[in-house]
Amino acid sequence: MPPSRLAARPGTGRRAEDLAAGLLERAGLRIVERNWRRPEGELDIVADDAGTCVFVEVRSRTGDEMGHPLESITPRKRARIIRAARLYLDEHPTPAAAYRFDVVAVTFSIEDGTEPDIIHIPAAFEAR
């Protein structure tokens, strides 16, 4: 990856999370927590969707040379998110009726400066 793209990654990730949070709020979800981090794991967004506790992973890419952001949700990544969600629930017991794992993918265009492409996939995967 070119050095200029590496330097932009933290800002790109934060912008992607901001866009994802806005999209989720417009869809009626209430953001409960952002950037929950522990040494054992992290969660990008925790939200409430009418009584369902939603753990949201936000993935972003600038351009398409590294593939689509959804391609980065590997079995190993899913396992880490599930482990972090369990840790979160240990610290924050919630009376949620259900739980789910969503993914928001954000692709930024570096060529023409157009609006980013944002895809929200509710219930993208399940805890097993």
Quick check: helix, strand or coil at residue 69? helix
Three-class DSSP category at 26: helix
What gap in Å lies between CA 21 and CA 109, rounded to an integer? 20
Name the pairing type of β-strands 41-49 and 30-38: antiparallel
Query: Which residues, including other chains, have CB under 8 Å from residue 118's CB and lie 6 or more apart?
Result: 19, 20, 23, 104, 105, 106
pLDDT at 9: 57
What pLDDT does 10 receive? 60
Give the CATH architecture of domain 3-125: 3-Layer(aba) Sandwich (3.40)
Please state, in angstroms and rounded to a whole number, the distance separating the CA atoms of residues 116 and 101.
22
The CA-CA-CA angle for residues 126, 52, 119, to 5°, reads: 60
What pLDDT, on the 0 to 100 scale, is given for residue 28? 98
Position 34 scores a pLDDT of 97
Q: How far apart are CA 116 and CA 127, in angstroms?
A: 29
Tokens describing residue 47: 């939200």
pLDDT of residue 109: 85
pLDDT mean for each 10 residues of the chain (128 residues): 45 92 98 96 97 97 84 94 96 91 93 86 93
Contacts of residue 53, Cβ cutoff 8 Å, sequence gap at least 6: 32, 46, 47, 89, 94, 96, 98, 99, 100
